[in-house]
Structure 1
Amino acid sequence: MLLLQIGDTLNQAADTLQQALPQNSVIAAEQKVNILSLLIKGGWVMLPIALLLFLGIYIFFERYFTIRKAARYEANLTMQIKQYVLAGNLDGAIALCRNSATPIGRMLQKGLLRIGKPIKDIEGAIENQGKLEVSKLEKNISILGIIAGIAPMLGFIGTIIGVITIFYDISATGEYSIDTVSSGLYQKMITSAAGLFIGILAYIGHHILTMMVDKVILQMETDSIDFIDLLEEPTK
């Protein structure tokens, strides 16, 4: 009898598990749908927040690949230029800089075109070209900083609108229940979370690109100093 009871208990447990598995799958599917629908419940404030997200992603990757290309360092460039200059082949050195298609190459090319003039003039030409190259690298990076500040503010606006919605529904219905305040709470929490999340991403992206630009600037300054020393070397 005891064995029969144990067998019946196991069979009932197996049936319960079989019935529970499909239900759990349905619950999981509903939760996935709810996650997507929550974003819609954030209201119209989610539209500008979404635009900031796409704008930030575009700017980050566009600048990332541009700066990465500019950071491509050719170790033999300065050495080859030195060989051309010492051999008196300025045209070959200028062509080499032009073919490098890098910020440092364009800076050195500007200096080579000024050879024969005082060193101060050459340094000024290289410095001005360097400022222009840095300006190109930093293009639109500041927009990420703006997004990092605006996105949380938009989330805060959504929070205020959600609170207003809650009190309006309560005053309109005269009831204080979960159904009455749920829509306002959805908008309040979703917009706040979305704004903070996008703001954090933009903040991180801004600092990553800034560090990359600083690294390129350091290399440009090092190579320009080596180039000026190269021009002064024959006169020593």
Structure 2
Amino acid sequence: MLISVMQDPVIEGLESEESISLLELLTNGGYMMIPILLLWMVAIYIFVERTRTLSAAAKTPESFKDQIRSMVIAGDISGALMLCSKTDTPVARMIEKGISRIGNPLKNIEVSIENVGKLEIYRLEKNLNLLATISGAAPMIGFLGTVTGMIQAFIAIAQEEGAVSPKLLSSGIYEAMITTAAGLFVGILAYLGYNYLVSKVGKVIHTMESNVIDFIDLLQEPKKQ
């Protein structure tokens, strides 16, 4: 009973020294944590915004292709254009451009659709390069923060008179390493997010190409008959 009473203050003291909140830990990282935090916020915004945009771009109604086919075969060009204008997807905008060029040589129609497709791909890939930049820049900024933190730690050690306290040495080093850990965390997640979005863009582009091929084949059908 006496031993437990004597050990309680020691245990409580150790717990109070060892328990550090996440906010305190990030604050100890120094001013280099500010750009890392900003990059983290930008990366989250880009990922969420692009995910929503790409998900909407991939949702072309199942009946859209069949309706366009029926209208073009029936010669209802105005109805087909109206259907395309009401469907807010890259596929619909490309098909709309092709329908508006019906009557021109097939090569001209293909070029017009291809030009619209390039614009749509540019919109789909918007800000992806910035996300890739963040995945590389965040770890570098974190490493820079570690280097500057280590310099400050060694300056403090050099100015210390007498024997250097192990606590002073360890605290300076761990505070310097926080920025590297934070930078790697942001960089890794940004890199994973970038690759995920690139794969989604690839799927949308594949859908666009497939629908355009079907549309060009539809325009060639009367010539085969």
TM-score under structure 2 length normalisation:
0.90
Indicate the larger mover: 72-81 or 194-203.
72-81
RMSD: 2.6
Residue 140 and residue 160 in structure 1: after superposition, are their counterparts in 2 closer, same or farther (change >3 A)?
Answer: same
TM-superposed CA distance for 1:152, in Å, is 0.4
Is 1:141 equivalent to 2:111 in the alignment? no
Q: Distance in 2 between matches of 1:103 and 1:164?
A: 53
Residue correspondences, number: 223
Is 1:104 equivalent to 2:85 in the alignment? no
2:137 paired residue number: 150
Residue 16 and residue 64 in structure 1: after superposition, are their counterparts in 2 closer, same or farther (change >3 A)?
Answer: farther
SS in 2 for 1:42: coil
Aligned mate of 2:61, from 58, 74, 81 = 74
Is 1:217 equivalent to 2:224 in the alignment? no
Q: After superposition, what is the alpha-carbon deviation per residue over 1:19-56, rounded to whole angstroms, capped at 9, x for unaligned?
A: 999x9899878766433211100000000000000010
**Matched-pair contact (CA < 8 Å) for 1:41–1:183:** no
Aligned mate of 1:165, from 152, 171, 182 = 152
**Matched-pair contact (CA < 8 Å) for 1:111–1:123:** yes
Residue 24 and residue 106 in structure 1: after superposition, are their counterparts in 2 closer, same or farther (change >3 A)?
Answer: farther
Aligned amino acid, residue 99 of structure 1: K
Indicate the larger mover: 153-162 or 32-41.
32-41
**Matched-pair contact (CA < 8 Å) for 1:152–1:196:** yes
Q: After superposition, what is the alpha-carbon deviation per residue over 1:70-126, rounded to whole angstroms, capped at 9, x for unaligned?
A: 010222211111110111100000011111111000000000000000000000011
Q: Distance in 2 between matches of 1:82 and 1:137?
A: 26
Residue 116 and residue 74 in structure 1: after superposition, are their counterparts in 2 closer, same or farther (change >3 A)?
Answer: same
Q: Distance in 1 between matches of 2:182 and 2:79?
A: 55
Q: Distance in 1 between matches of 2:4 and 2:81?
A: 78
TM-superposed CA distance for 1:235, in Å, is 1.4
- List alignment gaps of at least 5 residues for structure 2: none
Aligned mate of 1:128, from 82, 90, 115 = 115
Q: Distance in 2 between matches of 1:65 and 1:29?
A: 44
Aligned amino acid, residue 192 of structure 1: T
SS in 2 for 1:159: helix
Residue 226 and residue 36 in structure 1: after superposition, are their counterparts in 2 closer, same or farther (change >3 A)?
Answer: same
Q: Distance in 2 between matches of 1:17 and 1:69?
A: 63
Is 1:227 equivalent to 2:187 in the alignment? no
**Matched-pair contact (CA < 8 Å) for 1:170–1:180:** yes
SS in 2 for 1:139: coil
2:73 paired residue number: 86
- List alignment gaps of at least 5 residues for structure 1: 1-13
Aligned amino acid, residue 165 of structure 2: S
Is 1:190 equivalent to 2:189 in the alignment? no
Aligned amino acid, residue 139 of structure 1: K
Q: Matched residues, percent identical?
A: 46
Aligned amino acid, residue 83 of structure 1: S
SS in 2 for 1:165: helix
